[in-house]
Amino acid sequence: MTELSALILNEYKDITFDTDASLIISAYRKKQRKFYSIIISSVFCVIIASAILNINTGVITKFVNSTGAFLSSYFSHEKARNYNNKPTKPTQSYDNSTLSDNNASHKKPLGGKETKATESIGTVPAYSQYEGDAAGASEAAAEKQETAASDNPSDDDTKDNDSKTETESVAAPVFAYKISNGAVTVTAYNGTDTNVTIPSKIENLPVRTIGAKAFSGNTKIEGVEIPSSVQTIDKQAFCKCRKLSRVTLPETLLRVNEEAFYGCGSLKEITVPAGVSKLGAMCFGYYEKTSGSGTNKYNYDEKVKRFTIRCYSGSRAYTYAVENGFAVVNLGSVDFPTSVYLDKYIVELSVGSTYEIKYTVDNPKGETTFTSDKDSVAKVSADGKVTALKKGSANITVSNNGVSRKLVVIVE
């Protein structure tokens, strides 16, 4: 009997119940069943042995009674030890400086409440021991409900958050653009407005150019205002904007390139500032027309009916209107300054060779003249053809309206 009891105690001496109450009960019953199984098996073996060895039945009865008394005493002791040794609240909270990942990750007993200490160090809060009473269980349940509510906001809260998100969202940029040499070129328009005002600055840099095909094919815009910062409207910038009927060009505009407003059939009139020095082919007043059918179908360029250009006499716009047969509204005369530009300012020639001067005169008045200061070295004709006669150098002067440029001719 003594040996059997010692064996059982040694086998189950490490039984502890440090989990919650439900686990304590489950473990207790499991161990109890296991003990009973061992004892019953042992008793059964003793009875069989006694029958075989003809042992006194009184001894067997005494053994069974002693074993039952031992089990009853053992389990009563274990149950009392695990239910009566509840954790008590310590007088001092954990110090954050001593907490680590290992000793801070403890389990919370059923019905326990995690109580925050009055102080914390850094970003890690200090905690006291858990309280395992019934009041703690009620508070823990309430705390769990509050946590669930915070993790699952109400519909009203969701609506408020959605509204806030919509308010704080940033819309896609209306104008696509690129920056080069401290100036902006608008490359595309992503908006839906029918009347568009192009900004004079983007990222605090001046908008200098409306890029090629920036608004091309837009079938919504009806009016566009171009700011004073813009100097160039590039090729096909507003091509085939079929509803575009109003365009405001700035006084600072210098260039309108090829087909910039081609295919704008609703645009019947345009005012072109005096300072515009370049108007590309079919930049105003043309659209594509289709004729024929089937295999004989073809497209061709057609003038917009009754297209009118409002401009100043003597300006590039005036010349464009006359050359293309458009109606003109004369806004007055402007005395534009004359400018002379040469393709080259120094040329080298051999004796007997010739060179035709390439030049440009803006706002010419009268004829352009050519003179040589040394006809014996190089002479020049009335149309600007230079002939080298002998070795040396000569200056050829190109003049119009009192403005001149010099070409140096070196003959070797």
Report yes or no on 258 lying in a domain.
yes
Report yes or no on 254 lying in a domain.
yes
Q: What's the chain's average pLDDT?
A: 76
207 and 321 fall within a common domain: yes
283 and 349 fall within a common domain: no
Report yes or no on 35 lying in a domain.
yes
308 and 360 fall within a common domain: no
CA distance 32 to 15: 11
Residue-wise pLDDT tens digits, 140-191? 455 545 555 544 545 544 444 444 333 333 344 799 999 998 899 999 999 9
C-alpha separations of 234 from 195, 222, 237, 257, 265 in Å: 20, 19, 6, 5, 19
Where does a domain end: 312, 333, 354?
Answer: 333
Residue-wise pLDDT tens digits, 35-78? 667 777 776 776 776 666 655 566 666 666 666 666 666 655 55
389: containing domain: 339-411
Mean pLDDT over 282-290 rounds to: 93
Residue-wise pLDDT tens digits, 92-109? 444 444 444 444 444 444
Amino acid 123: pLDDT? 35
- CATH code, domain carrying 369: 2.60.40.1080
**Block residue for tokens 């050519």:** 370
Roughly what angle, to the nearest 10 degrees, separates helices 2-11 and 21-53?
150
Mean pLDDT over 9-34 rounds to: 55
How many domains, the chain? 3
Where does a domain end: 333, 349, 370?
Answer: 333
222 and 284 fall within a common domain: yes
182 and 311 fall within a common domain: yes
Return the HEC string of the chain: CHHHHHHHHHHCCCCCCCCCHHHHHHHHHHHHHHHHHHHHHHHHHHHHHHHHHCCCHHHHHHHHHHHHHHHHHHHHHHHHHHHHCCCCCCCCCCCHHHCCCCCCCCCCCCCCECCEEEEEECCEEEECCCECCHHHHHHHHHHHHHHHHHHCCCHHHHHHHHHHHHHHCCCCCCEEEEEECCEEEEEEECCCCCEEECCCEECCEEEEEECCCCCCCCCCCCEEECCCCCCEECCCCCCCCCCCCEEECCCCCCEECCCCCCCCCCCCEEECCCCCCEECCCCCCEEEEEECCHHHCEEEEEECCCCEEEEEECCHHHHHHHHHCCEEEEEEECCCCCEEEECCCEEEECCCCEEECCEEEECCCCCCEEEECCCCCEEECCCCEEEECCCEEEEEEEEECCEEEEEEEEEC
Report yes or no on 8 lying in a domain.
no
Winning range, highest mean pLDDT, from 4-18, 22-36, 47-61, 213-227: 213-227
Report yes or no on 29 lying in a domain.
yes
Amino acid 116: pLDDT? 42
266 and 315 fall within a common domain: yes
305 and 388 fall within a common domain: no
Report yes or no on 361 lying in a domain.
yes
- CATH code, domain carrying 223: 3.80.10.10
326 and 259 fall within a common domain: yes
Least confident of 142-156, 189-203, 293-307, 383-397: 142-156
Report yes or no on 389 lying in a domain.
yes
Amino acid 99: pLDDT? 40
**pTM of this prediction?**
0.45
Amino acid 94: pLDDT? 42
196 and 329 fall within a common domain: yes
Strand 183-189 relative to strand 369-372: parallel, antiparallel, unpaired? unpaired
Phi-psi region of 399 (alpha: psi -120 to 50; beta: other; left: phi over 0): beta
Amino acid 190: pLDDT? 92
Residue-wise pLDDT tens digits, 315-333? 999 999 999 999 999 999 8
Report yes or no on 123 lying in a domain.
no
272 and 307 fall within a common domain: yes
244 and 304 fall within a common domain: yes
313 and 376 fall within a common domain: no
CA distance 153 to 373: 94
Q: Give the torsion sign (CA, 365, 368, 372, 376).
A: negative
Mean pLDDT over 278-284 rounds to: 96
Where does a domain end: 316, 333, 350?
Answer: 333
Which residues fall within 8 angstroms of residue 131, CB to CB, at 6 or more apart? Answer: 89, 112, 113, 115
Amino acid 38: pLDDT? 73
